[in-house]
Structure 1
């Protein structure tokens, strides 16, 4: 399924989008075309980058695409700014969203700069397995993993092949099966 882009980096936003149902993935694209997922916005959330863009009357600093279709509330930017000024509980909601995403972004930067690719892949696979109901088989492509982890597809493929050779995972088209969870978990760097 081709992603449905709703916002591209550099746009001036006319509406604040509140996600009522569904999931939107926020990401950046490097000048060389590599993609990295920053975070996801789920039901009941709003994007702090969108908020800062609207409140600061500046260009949007990322791109967004719909991952799971749903329902949104589109609030005109002028009204959004007014609500932020006028309503304390709305402003608190916005700042809680900022705080939550700052932690996520900080963890992403730590991961990229301070953890090995083997550790990052291991942590990602364990998280994906838990999200899939503790299944040992994860449906994902090497290309999708490279976007999630912010590295080249070739680096992902090479590292996965080493893990397969060590009998820790098994690779098949569009799927990865964890065959030795304990060893995979031992690679996770805290």
Structure 2
């Protein structure tokens, strides 16, 4: 049973759950648990629960047959994974791998109860469908980037986006290995491209750190690559 203090916090983070009845909240299996860093849900599983993020970060990614990873998107506070919800609604295998990046807490809803709530509660159903729509846009942009942009343009876009997200700082703390995982390409390609950008005096490289020195040049690579 969800305790009152948890419920108030859940409703604040997920207003779409406001209409859920007290009786429905008291069903067995609904609980709040702590996420452990590096915990993984692997692709191909039939899921028994939906996970709604209260705080913390989970990275969603795909692994190729050769073992190479590409980050699809991340889910954070107030979000759920649409691939997870679609898997449960469609009673099909989970089509991605999820890894806890930042510790936090999550609301766990058994799949049977989740399907009942989607059928019964309009606001919650709209929240789930809106999550689908938002991630479709994200995935469309990712496919566009992978298929039509040069690696230089993709790296430039990633650096601009992440430094803006971190408060318009010019420095991003990330390794070449991590960047290759984010963009789904070989580490050697990443390192070669970054060294080329450094020669052009667009960035500066140090171990585990990239500093932008010419943001305008990076922006032009996004626009014309």
What band does the TM-score fall into relative to the shorter chain? Answer: over 0.9
The answer to whether structure 1 residue 52 and structure 2 residue 77 are counterparts is: no
Which of the numbers 202, 207, 213 marks the counterpart of 1:173?
A: 207
The answer to whether the 8 A contact 1:115-1:189 is kept is no
Measure, in 1, the Cα distance between the counterparts of 2:223 and 2:94.
Answer: 33
Match of 1:85 in 2: 119
The answer to whether the 8 A contact 2:37-2:102 is kept is no
The answer to whether structure 1 residue 102 and structure 2 residue 140 are counterparts is: no
Match of 1:6 in 2: 40
Larger radius of gyration: 2
Measure, in 1, the Cα distance between the counterparts of 2:37 and 2:204.
Answer: 28
Name the structure where strand makes up a greater proportion of residues.
1
Match of 2:104 in 1: 70
C-alpha deviation, 1:27, in angstroms: 0.3
Runs of 4+ in 1 over 4 A off after TM superposition: none
Count of matched residue positions in the alignment of Structure 1 and Structure 2: 189
SS at match of 2:58: strand
CA-to-aligned-CA distance 1:61-106 (integer Å, 9 cap, x gap)? 0000111111100000100011111111111110000000000000
* TM-score (structure 2 length as normaliser): 0.81
C-alpha deviation, 1:132, in angstroms: 2.1
Match of 2:28 in 1: none
* TM-score (structure 1 length as normaliser): 0.96
Q: Aligned-pair RMSD on alpha carbons? A: 1.3
